Structure 1
């Protein structure tokens, strides 16, 4: 156990609960912790695993403690109670006990990759945001002469959800990180060619069904109106929103391997690719199978390593 901490709860328009915990605990990207919420009922005896959705910062450099950030999708029991509490008292605080962290991807290993492909589904989006933050942090270290691949690298982010409100939340979060990142602007030689692909898997709402939704849950109408354009390119990154479309995980991984093979100059160092996935069981299954097939082909070409890290969906509940 890492002692008692104070968590701040915020219920987001997407329905997720944002939990922020200032701490001196250190962690690496993709790790998870077990949390016990100090309550007066039997839930005090139960611990809940949550994937960390933030990057551990150096307090000496930032002047303040790092924050553990979790994005929790309310289900039943304690998470439903937390959502009700955050709805009634925005910004309320709750005492918690933290055990961990466990698992994850070491920053040293992540820094080795020429290409990072992040695939996430549903509330696993929090995992992918942490990976984006870490990729940007590593870019800053590389530009300062620290170890890492030389030259321009590639960051691909694929997020899938059936909920338009969740898609809106994700677009806002990832755009905020990329737009305000100083690391992307530091040095063109060490930055990332960055692309984000957001897939909304539910069918578009018709005018008739929209009227029904509007009478029962008015927020859905607002979500449809506020969704961004289908695609945008800023010069630093590209963003594409796909409606009524599931991501072709197998094709995405195969294309990533193919691009790296064609971009490798004769006599240059072979490329290293990191595939990081967090989502439902079906997404993890598809990604593992696609990575296994692509890995066999990659070893015959100009790709030196295809690394796969998968994080179970349960760690975001």
Structure 2
């Protein structure tokens, strides 16, 4: 009876600590407490049920959990070449670069690691985490093969992550990147995971991203260009890429990615790239003074606003938030080739809700198909468990 009471208390606490406000405020506390409390629930529940010879209903759950931990450990060892003789020391390091005030670009070199576009992987950074084996999932913002259509055989692949620094682990990573600007940290990968959609069957693909949600839409976009470049089985004829962000400092990285990818797209593929700056940068200057040995040194730091011509010509830069309803309805009305349409969205809850509302209206809902408009498939990617 004591074991049963303990098991029930652990499950009740795990349920209370799983509500969204607690996850948003203290996600790492929720994660660790959830693991500990569920382990107590299973072990104490087994001891309670075994008296009535019902333990066989519980111990398989412990076995499955242990098997999952073992397989993940084996994957980490294999993906990171821990016990290989000819192991490249650089494969255990990640390059960390601060792109903006709260966004970190983290990249790793891997030779025997492959993934599908928009899959995610768990990243272990022992020097950043509070616990040695603490892992966090991030969507891979790159593709495994080259954009020109060729495959990588024995070459190293760039596993790129775009991480937004918020609280806990990501805040410590942001502080580290801010201190070192561009440095390396020990890193290990577990993955890949996820089953992203295959967009090659659609004639029109619309990508909508908000902030770091581009980590999900960009690989799908690059993969469609790759399929088009190598003459693969792709029915895609038009791509609309929409990215809403607050910080313009992320645009040079995006512009560089387009510069490397777009030359490989054939003329039969129509590409429209629109970037919306929801909080346009303002010319600001700040001065600071410091005194060393009785002398005063002043430094002035100025942030300048870039011109749209500084970026790739395919980028259409606009201030403010995108009119999601109007953009989607215009694209749906223009899709008259009889094909189907895919909408992929990743970003804040407000952005995904706006896309859902636009696609559930009379102009784009089920009734629109009866009027001859294309069938629409919606894929939504959320940021993580805390949202």
**Which of 255, 259, 266 in structure 1 is aligned with 2:330?**
255
- Are 1:280 and 2:348 matched, yes or no? yes
**Which of 38, 46, 53 in structure 1 is aligned with 2:134?**
46
Cα distance in 1 between the residues matched to 2:157 and 2:345: 24
2:97/2:182 contact within 8 Å kept: yes
Aligned to 1:175: 255
State the 1:70 CA deviation. 0.4
Aligned to 2:124: 36
2:258/2:312 contact within 8 Å kept: no
Cα distance in 2 between the residues matched to 1:67 and 1:204: 31
1:71/1:316 contact within 8 Å kept: no
1:155/1:195 contact within 8 Å kept: yes
Cα distance in 2 between the residues matched to 1:19 and 1:233: 23
What are the Cα deviations for residues 189-219 of structure 1, in whole angstroms up to 9, with x where unaligned?
A: 3xx21111111223674xxxx55x6458976
Q: How does 1:113-152 map to 2 (within 5 A)?
A: 113-142=202-231, 146-149=232-235
**Which of 94, 117, 132 in structure 2 is aligned with 1:7?**
94
Aligned to 2:321: 246
Cα distance in 2 between the residues matched to 1:67 and 1:117: 26
State the 1:276 CA deviation. 0.9
Cα distance in 2 between the residues matched to 1:259 and 1:202: 30
State the 1:34 CA deviation. 2.1
Question: Which shows bigger deviation, 292-301 or 15-24?
Answer: 292-301
**Which of 41, 60, 80 in structure 1 is aligned with 2:171?**
80
- Are 1:112 and 2:232 matched, yes or no? no
Distance 1:214 1:301, change over 3 A: farther
1:273/1:305 contact within 8 Å kept: yes
Distance 1:60 1:127, change over 3 A: closer
Distance 1:215 1:202, change over 3 A: farther
Aligned to 2:267: 188
Aligned to 1:267: none
Q: Compute the RMSD of aligned alpha carbons.
A: 3.1
- Are 1:307 and 2:365 matched, yes or no? no
Cα distance in 2 between the residues matched to 1:16 and 1:117: 24
What are the Cα deviations for residues 22-43 of structure 1, in whole angstroms up to 9, with x where unaligned?
A: 2222222222222221238633
2:96/2:182 contact within 8 Å kept: yes
Aligned to 1:160: 244
**Which of 289, 303, 307 in structure 2 is aligned with 1:222?**
303
**Which of 103, 110, 113 in structure 2 is aligned with 1:16?**
103
1:43/1:78 contact within 8 Å kept: no
> Which structure has more strand as a fraction of its residues?
1
State the 1:289 CA deviation. 2.4
Aligned to 1:202: 279
Q: State the TM-score, normalizing by the size of structure 2.
A: 0.64
Distance 1:125 1:305, change over 3 A: same
State the 1:297 CA deviation. 4.1
State the 1:122 CA deviation. 1.2
- Larger RCO, structure (CA 8 Å, separation 6 or more): 1
Distance 1:223 1:33, change over 3 A: farther
Query: Aligned to 1:27, what secondary structure does the other structure show?
Result: coil
Distance 1:33 1:301, change over 3 A: farther
Cα distance in 1 between the residues matched to 2:118 and 2:386: 11
Aligned to 2:22: none
State the 1:13 CA deviation. 4.1
Q: How does 1:53-64 map to 2 (within 5 A)?
A: 53-57=141-145, 61=152, 63-64=154-155
Cα distance in 2 between the residues matched to 1:203 and 1:92: 29
Q: State the TM-score, normalizing by the size of structure 1.
A: 0.77
